[in-house]
Structure 1
Amino acid sequence: MDEPLLEAPVVILTPIKDCASHLPAYVERIEALRYPVEALSIGLLESDSTDATWPLAQSLVERLERRCHRVSLVKRDFGFNMPAQVPRWMPAYQKARRTTLARARNHLLFSALRDETWVLWLDVDVIRFQSDLIQQLLATGREIVQPHCVTRPGGPTFDRNGWTHHGTRWLENYRGQSLVRLDAVGGTVLLVKADHHRDGLIFPAFRYGVSNENVRPVHSCWERGEIETEGLGIMASDMGIQCWGMPDLEVIHAPE
């Protein structure tokens, strides 16, 4: 693989909310990345936290600035919080929760992206990944690609927003293959060529793709069309861009 590609400018974008317990370790993982300082930037957007996420993030900027070329930290509240003790996956709250997350991702993208060649979306609660993760994703030569997010090595797929066959198959079904085509993507870890974002590829905060043959069928709690990261995957398809997944490149998400 061409060496300049593996050192192309990358901005890591991470939406943060109620994650004070994860932030210090997140910074440590960024510090451990084997990627050139001059080619790595960070963008964080905090919204609607009820814990100490915002002041803690402010206090960690100096450390990130020592590791990265540029650091962007912004605050943008959207006025949405899950009710106490309600799991974030509860169907009744999915549309509101993921609409808000899509808006947060888009606001972060538009505020933090400068002249970078690639965007790496990285959730704050992905607790373990390879120090050369960026290089491994770039080396695929694909313009939208995600690793396999699990909560334990060899375990079932955690980020089930990356799927094929109308949402019935995930990366766990393709182990042993280095790369597979995906119809929708997850956002726990996702590499996107930045020019696709510049060309209009966003995280829809609305049902997108009602006429696309890859969207899931209507069922009792889900209208036709995809939202947020899955909507991005369908939008990429409409733009003529193929999404990919790496079933055997595992990253570990904190258990829920």
Structure 2
Amino acid sequence: MARPMGSVRLKKASPVTLAVGAALCIFILYFLIGSSAPDFSASRKATAASHPLSPPTSPFRKTTTGGKLKAPPVAHYNLNDVSTTSQPLENRENILVLTPMARFYPAYWDNLLRLDYPHELITLGFILPKTKEGNEATKELQKKITKTQKYGPEKDRFKSIIILREDMDSPLSSQDESERHKMENQKIRRAAMAKARNSLLFTTLGPSTSWILWLDADVIETPPTIIQDLARHDQAIIAPNCFQRFWNAEKKEMDERPYDFNNWQDSPTALDLAKSMGPDDILLEGYSEMATFRTLMAYLATDDGLLHEEIPLDGVGGAALLVKADVHRDGAMFPPFAFYHLIETEGFAKMAKRLGWQPVGLPNYKVYHYNE
């Protein structure tokens, strides 16, 4: 007898198949909404709402509380509430200290610990290359961080510390001072430095940051009050004078000499040189092969000068530099390309000026560079 059209006989499922299917369904439900699943919402909410650096960047996983799904957190930041004043200590303003690092100098870290600005208001950020020297520097840095943050006295512990590793190859085979300062290495070296600075800046600048102190890893001596001293000027960009201590064989005593020649006031000669250059050529300072006749802040220091005397600058170095966070938020970065024939920190000064921010320098306020 023919079956009616449309009727289908279903094969009876075995008890084993049904048991496996039921177990699988239970496992899936347990994994997704089970009460024993890790509650990531609390940690992500804390990161979003109170982390000193930035909103969350890792995925949010929904969980249940009393059978109700939690919504992903929403972080609110009012940048009008972030002050950047001449009295950062009194106003408890957050400081971001940023350092590109290829070598680790213990004296650099010791100098950081001597800063008398409250460490709970200071975030440290580092970027290191993935080279043999960079790997060694990272290990030494992490040792110091562990000693300070885990075992050190409370007053020495910093608000937070971020370490980035560069994903680009180092343009130079050696970080020796003689190799770093060869004129033919300057464009590729400083382009790489600019990229490192930008990566560090864009990763660590948070909504609560008031000031950024750029401090090179080989600057080993600053006044403990450098943050307050520079901020008291209430300038958008301010640079101290970077010197180097050395043994003077003629005088048979310790002496000091200028080191950073990137803090300068422009000259007609330099401007004329720029007009004759190709679009990708850059002006360099401190080389006899390219005499610019700029006024260098390094040579303006006087023994009887006023410590807080200001001068306007057209170019700045990065050995030590205090910057209002709003300057970077406005878009001033470190060009890794020829920007009006300037690059890296000097290009940053030019870009900041184009945005309406005037850099200034303090010829008689000194910080000191390591002497190799």
Contact 1:64 1:71 in 2 (8 A): no
SS in 2 for 1:151: strand
Aligned to 1:75: 165
- How far off its partner does 1:196 sit? 1.1
Structure-2 residue corresponding to 1:107: 199
Q: Is 1:26 aligned to 2:108, yes or no?
A: yes
The residue aligned with 2:214 is 121
SS, match of residue 119 in structure 1: strand
Deviation at 1:68, TM superposition (A): 0.8
Cα distance in 2 for residues equivalent to 1:195 and 1:29: 27
- Cα distance change of structure 1 residues 232 and 154 upon mapping to structure 2, 3 Å threshold: farther
The equivalent of 2:274 in structure 1 is none
Per-residue deviation, 1:58 = 2.5
> Quick check: 1:174–1:180 contact (8 Å CA) kept in 2?
no
Q: Distance in 1 between matches of 2:93 and 2:215?
A: 17
CA displacement, residues 192-227 of structure 1 (integer Å, 9 cap, x when unaligned):
001111111100000002xxxxxxxxxxxxxxx100
Q: Secondary structure at the match of 2:346?
A: helix
Partner of 1:135 in structure 2? 228
Deviation at 1:37, TM superposition (A): 2.1
Aligned equivalents of 1:4 and 1:102: distance in 2?
A: 30
Count of aligned residue pairs for this structure pair: 238
Maintained 8 Å contact 2:336/2:344: yes
**Which residue is 2:316 aligned to?**
185
| Conserved? CA contact 1:157–1:170, under 8 Å | no
Question: TM-score normalised to the size of structure 1?
Answer: 0.86
After TM superposition, the structure 1 = structure 2 runs for residues 217-228 of structure 1, keeping only pairs within 5 Å, are 225-228=341-344
Aligned residue type for 2:143: S
* CA–CA separation in structure 1 for the residues paired with 2:144 and 2:89: 30
Equivalent residues in 2 for 1:128-167 (5 A)?
A: 128-152=221-245, 155-166=256-267
Q: Distance in 1 between matches of 2:346 and 2:226?
A: 22
Helix, strand or coil at the partner of 1:236: helix
Query: Any conservation in 2 of the 1:39–1:69 contact (CA below 8 Å)?
Result: yes
Aligned to 1:204: 335
Whether 1:12 and 2:12 are equivalent positions in the alignment is no
Mark the CA change 1:192 to 1:2 in structure 2 (over 3 Å): closer, same or farther.
Answer: closer
State the partner residue of 1:42: 124
Aligned to 2:349, the other structure's residue is in SS state helix
Using the size of structure 2 for normalisation, the TM-score is 0.60
SS at match of 1:87: helix
Larger RCO, structures 1/2 (Cα 8 Å, 6+ apart): 1
Match of 2:183 among 91, 99, 102: 91
Structure 1 contact 46–77 (Cα < 8 Å) conserved = no
User: Can you give the 5+ residue segments of structure 2 that lack an aligned partner in the other structure?
Assistant: 1-85, 150-155, 246-253, 268-291
CA contact (8 A) 2:260 2:298 kept: no
The AA in structure 2 aligned to 1:241 is W
**Which residues of structure 1 form unaligned runs of 5+?**
210-224
CA radius of gyration, larger in: 2
* Separation in structure 2 between the aligned mates of residue 10 and residue 94 of structure 1, nearest angstrom: 30
Could you say if the C-alpha distance between residues 50 and 234 of structure 1 is closer, same or farther in structure 2, counting changes exceeding 3 Å? same
Root-mean-square deviation (CA, aligned residues, Å) is 2.0
Shift in Å, 1:3: 6.0
